[in-house]
Amino acid sequence: GVFRSDNGELKHNDLKAWFLSRGTIHQFTSAHTSTQNSHVEHVHLTLMGKARVM
């Protein structure tokens, strides 16, 4: 499978080894392009909005 993330915290060598051990490809989106990650960004904003209401 493929796992996509931004260029944030998920660059650790242990995580890279974990993905490789499971045959997963880890791809990074381009910096400062939230449109490449728009679905996740939308879900995150929705969840944060709901949490604020609580």
Predicted confidence (pLDDT) per residue in 8-50, tens digit: 666 678 888 999 999 999 888 877 776 776 777 788 889 889 9
* pLDDT for the residue numbered 22: 95
HSE toward the beta carbon, residue 22, CA cutoff 13 A: 11
2 or 21: whose pLDDT is higher?
21
Burial (0-12, 13-18, 19+ Cβ within 10 Å), 37: middle
Q: How many helices and strands, by DSSP H and E, does the chain display?
A: 2, 2
Q: How many domains does the chain have?
A: 1
- The structure's pTM equals 0.50
- Count CA atoms closer than 13 A to 54's CA, side-chain side: 6
Domain coverage including residue 48 = 2-53
